[in-house]
């Protein structure tokens, strides 16, 4: 989704803004722009539809635009089509104020009408222009920028991360935040704002996270932050440990491939610090050792792939803990009147920690008295900060829109939590506990073995990339995995794909089985392999082509009916999905590559979905 970068410094701003915007490209966008206060004290805005490369060309790499204070934006259209005019920054009609904005101003129509009645003329279809026009309206009234900011903020409803420049305040950026992430970066003689830490990594690793309703005034020498009542706020500074190289491709053709290959290391980073003397220890839960003993219902909430991890978690937790567990979509949770109380544990899963629907679910769960445990990757993100307990996945920055390593680390963390809770409840034998810990230690090695099969997967994908319709079937955990395999394929290759519980197919969808349809059969849950095999035969009988994913010891069962087999090593059933997902990710990747798709930035998608 949209991205923001801003610098108040002493060097030329536009090259810094362009580089920062490139770091934000992964979030998904359709237009981009920059605004600077030029040396002659005027605001100059350059923006265009399309990629940063177009903006680079348009601004001649920024060299001719002199000015050391500026803001930049990548826009993912919500209100108004992607176009030069609708791109940010948006200016007020007097040219005194320029604004970049992430989020949605919900009451922009009524504000626009009222401003139009007072004679203001709008250029764009965006909700953001209302902010710029309203700022100028109040600035004309009060002749004080901060008065104008607070008056403007009191009128707008919705979510926003705002970066504001005024030609009357050279060398200064004003920032404001509500329900959309915004952080401050501290440099030497230069300070920054950004929606995402990756935009700042090459300048600083010292940051503060703005909280809702705070306003910041940033100059090269100072950062002042105020609360909703205009009282000064002292913010904690955080050191960001992610390094620059982890946000670069490092020789891989795509971030997605790099992140797939990083999974053994990422998973090791997730579990190693939490394994001490062959015991699972969560420092994060040290203050609540009896948490699970007081829980009678568990919800696992997330969106997209994070929801799919929740489905895996549901199967694992119900089976081991014997506590009702339900996976719920973040976008549905608050609207389904969930049965939530003090005996409910709500596990919110999110890579970005900024997904608006997951955040809304978190707030609803807290409002109803639940304990909220967040499984999050991005440190200091909104969900991480608002949850009662946060457990970080430590996957490192994930840049490709299609999640891979974050998904894997979430999976492993949920299996660890399940075993940890099961032990607290006395519901796992010491043999099974020991076996799990041992299998966990061996997991990265088995993931590497699975990745070693890349050539076979690439070949399979090159034979399958022209199917128009692909189904994934499996039972139990394999069904949960199919949800993710199918999403991976459709989001980056644009092939129509659905995932079904294998036993459900014959209740309707089997009518679609015919030659030309591909069915990816997932069969690794040992007690269900025969049943899934039968479902596979049901579809081959109707002419569908089958690709089977199964454990190495079961390959021979499938070799007759399946046109190709993706074998995976066997492991503990709580960890098996960590191996199974690898061929599915690589299959999606190579299918998309064969189809010439924009793998890291699939059409219409954003990395972090901060609107409802
Ligand atoms: O940042 P989050 O984990 O909260 O994001 C949730 C989904 O938007 C995300 O998993 C999405 O489905 C990805 N494109 C999947 O690859």
Residue nearest to atom 4 of ligand 1 (CA): 350
Distance 350 CA to ligand 1 centre (A): 7
Distance CA 239, CA 302 (A): 28
Q: Is the pLDDT of residue 611 over 80?
A: no
The H-assigned helical ranges of 497-554 are 529-541
Residue nearest to atom 9 of ligand 1 (CA): 304
What pLDDT is recorded for position 242? 67
Distance 406 CA to ligand 1 centre (A): 9
Spelled out in words, what is the top-level CATH class assigned to the domain 249-451? alpha beta
Ligand 1 neighbour 576 (Cβ under 6 A): no
pLDDT digits (tens, 9 = 90+) for 325-356: 999 999 999 889 999 999 999 999 999 999 99
Residue entry with tokens 């089997």: 510
Q: Is the pLDDT of residue 196 over 80?
A: yes
Ligand 1 neighbour 352 (Cβ under 6 A): yes
Handedness of CA 63, 64, 67, 72 (dihedral sign): negative
What pLDDT is recorded for position 47? 94
DSSP letter assigned to residue 427: -
Q: Among this protein's residues, is 597 annotated catalytic? A: no
Ligand 1 neighbour 362 (Cβ under 6 A): no
Ligand 1 neighbour 295 (Cβ under 6 A): no
Of 351, 413, 585, the residue with max ligand 1 atoms within 8 A of its CB, to mutate for a pocket test, comes to: 351
Distance 445 CA to ligand 1 centre (A): 27
**Mean model confidence pLDDT for the chain:** 93
Distance 351 CA to ligand 1 centre (A): 7
Q: Is the pLDDT of residue 1 over 70?
A: no
* Minimum-distance ligand 1 atom for the alpha carbon of 406: 3
DSSP letter assigned to residue 426: T
Q: Is the pLDDT of residue 27 over 90?
A: no
Q: What is the mean pLDDT of residues 352-372?
A: 96
Of 400, 403, 494, the residue with max ligand 1 atoms within 8 A of its CB, to mutate for a pocket test, comes to: 403
- Please list, in sequence order, all residues whose beta carbon lies within 8 angstroms of the beta carbon of residue 184, skipping any fewer than 6 positions away: 175, 191, 192, 193, 207, 208, 209, 210, 216, 218, 223, 225, 235
What pLDDT is recorded for position 23? 87
Q: How confident is the model at residue 537 (pLDDT cuts 50, 70, 90)?
A: confident
Query: Which architecture, in CATH terms, is 454-594?
Result: 3-Layer(aba) Sandwich (3.40)
Of 311, 355, 602, 606, the residue with max ligand 1 atoms within 8 A of its CB, to mutate for a pocket test, comes to: 355
Q: What is the mean pLDDT of residues 594-609?
A: 86
Ligand 1 neighbour 402 (Cβ under 6 A): yes
Ligand 1 neighbour 585 (Cβ under 6 A): no
What pLDDT is recorded for position 292? 97
What is the DSSP pairing of strand 3-8 with strand 191-194? antiparallel
Distance 118 CA to ligand 1 centre (A): 43
Ordered DSSP codes for 23-84? HHGGG--SEEEEEEE-TTS-EEEEEEES-HHHHHHHTGGGTTS--SEEEEEEE--SSS-S-T
pLDDT digits (tens, 9 = 90+) for 386-410: 999 999 999 988 989 999 999 999 9
Spelled out in words, what is the top-level CATH class assigned to the domain 2-245? alpha beta
Q: What global pTM score does this model have?
A: 0.76
Ligand 1 neighbour 304 (Cβ under 6 A): yes
Residue nearest to atom 11 of ligand 1 (CA): 304
- From 9, 25, 155, select the one nearest 69 (Cα to Cα): 9
Residue 572, helix vs strand vs coil: coil
Distance CA 131, CA 156 (A): 8
- Please list, in sequence order, all residues whose beta carbon lies within 8 angstroms of the beta carbon of residue 290, skipping any fewer than 6 positions away: 424
Q: Is the pLDDT of residue 296 over 80?
A: yes
CATH 3.60.20.10-classified regions of the chain: 2-245
Distance 309 CA to ligand 1 centre (A): 11
Ligand 1 neighbour 305 (Cβ under 6 A): yes
Q: Among this protein's residues, is 2 annotated catalytic? A: yes
3-state SS, 294-355, equals HCCEEEEEECCHHHHHHHHHHHHHHHHHCCCEEEEEHHHHCCCCCCCCCCEEEEEEECCCCC
CATH 3.40.50.10490-classified regions of the chain: 249-451, 454-594
Distance 608 CA to ligand 1 centre (A): 7
Distance CA 416, CA 27 (A): 30
């Amino acid at each position: 989704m949209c991205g923001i970068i801003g610098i108040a410094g002493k060097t030329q701003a536009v090259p810094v803004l362009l580089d920062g915007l490139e770091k934000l490209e992964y979030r998904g966008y359709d237009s981009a722009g920059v605004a600077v206060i030029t040396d002659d004290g005027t605001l100059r805005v350059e923006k265009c539809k399309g990629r940063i490369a177009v903006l680079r060309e348009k601004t001649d790499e920024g060299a001719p635009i002199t000015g050391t204070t500026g803001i930049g934006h990548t826009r993912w259209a919500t209100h108004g089509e992607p176009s030069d005019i609708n791109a940010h920054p948006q200016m007020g009609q007097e040219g005194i104020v320029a604004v970049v904005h992430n989020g949605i101003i919900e009451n922009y129509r009524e504000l626009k009408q009222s401003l139009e009645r007072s004679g203001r003329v709008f250029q764009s279809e965006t909700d953001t222009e209302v902010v710029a026009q309203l700022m100028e309206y109040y600035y004309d009234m009060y002749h004080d920028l901060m008065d104008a900011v607070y008056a403007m903020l009191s009128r707008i409803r919705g979510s926003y991360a705002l970066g504001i420049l005024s030609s009357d305040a050279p060398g200064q950026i004003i920032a404001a935040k509500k329900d959309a992430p915004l952080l401050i970066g501290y440099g030497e003689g230069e300070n920054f704002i950004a929606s995402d830490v990756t935009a700042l990594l090459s300048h600083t690793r010292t940051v503060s996270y703005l909280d809702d309703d705070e306003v910041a005034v940033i100059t090269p020498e100072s950062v002042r932050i105020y609360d909703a009542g205009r009282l000064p706020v002292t913010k904690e500074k955080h050191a960001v440990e992610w390094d620059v190289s982890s946000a670069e491709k490092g020789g891989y053709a795509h971030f997605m491939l790099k992140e797939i290959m990083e999974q053994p290391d990422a998973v090791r980073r997730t579990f190693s610090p939490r394994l001490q003397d062959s015991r699972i220890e969560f420092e994060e839960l040290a203050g609540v050792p009896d948490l699970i003993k007081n829980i009678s219902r568990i919800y696992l909430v997330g969106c997209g792939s994070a929801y799919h991890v929740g489905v895996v978690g549901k199967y694992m937790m119900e089976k081991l803990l014997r506590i009702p567990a339900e996976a719920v979509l973040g976008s549905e949770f608050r609207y389904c009147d969930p049965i939530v109380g003090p005996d409910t544990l709500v596990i919110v899963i999110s890579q970005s920690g900024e997904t608006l629907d997951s955040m809304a679910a978190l707030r609803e769960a807290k409002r109803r008295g639940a304990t909220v445990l967040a499984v999050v990757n991005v440190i200091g993100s909104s969900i991480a900060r608002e949850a009662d307990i946060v457990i970080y996945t430590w996957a490192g920055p994930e840049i490709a829109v299609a999640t891979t390593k974050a998904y894997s680390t979430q999976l492993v963390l949920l299996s660890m939590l399940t075993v940890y809770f099961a032990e607290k409840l006395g519901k796992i034998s010491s043999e099974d506990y020991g076996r799990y810990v041992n299998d966990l230690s061996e997991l990265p090695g088995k993931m590497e073995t699975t990745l070693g099969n890349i050539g076979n997967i690439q070949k399979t994908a090159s034979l399958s990339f022209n199917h128009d319709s692909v189904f994934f079937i499996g039972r139990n955990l394999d069904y949960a995995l199919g949800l993710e395999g199918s999403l991976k394929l459709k989001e980056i290759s644009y092939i129509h794909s659905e995932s079904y519980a294998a036993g459900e197919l014959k209740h309707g969808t089997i009518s679609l089985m015919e030659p030309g349809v591909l069915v990816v059969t997932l069969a690794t849950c040992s007690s269900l392999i025969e049943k899934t095999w039968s479902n596979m035969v049901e579809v081959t009988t109707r002419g569908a082509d089958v690709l089977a994913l199964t454990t190495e010891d079961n390959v021979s069962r499938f070799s007759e009916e399946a046109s190709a087999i993706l074998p995976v090593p066997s492991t503990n059933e709580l960890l098996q999905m960590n191996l199974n997902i690898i061929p599915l990710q690589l299959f999606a990747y190579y299918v998309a590559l064969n189809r010439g798709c924009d793998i890291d930035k699939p059409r219409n998608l954003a990395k972090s979905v901060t609107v409802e």
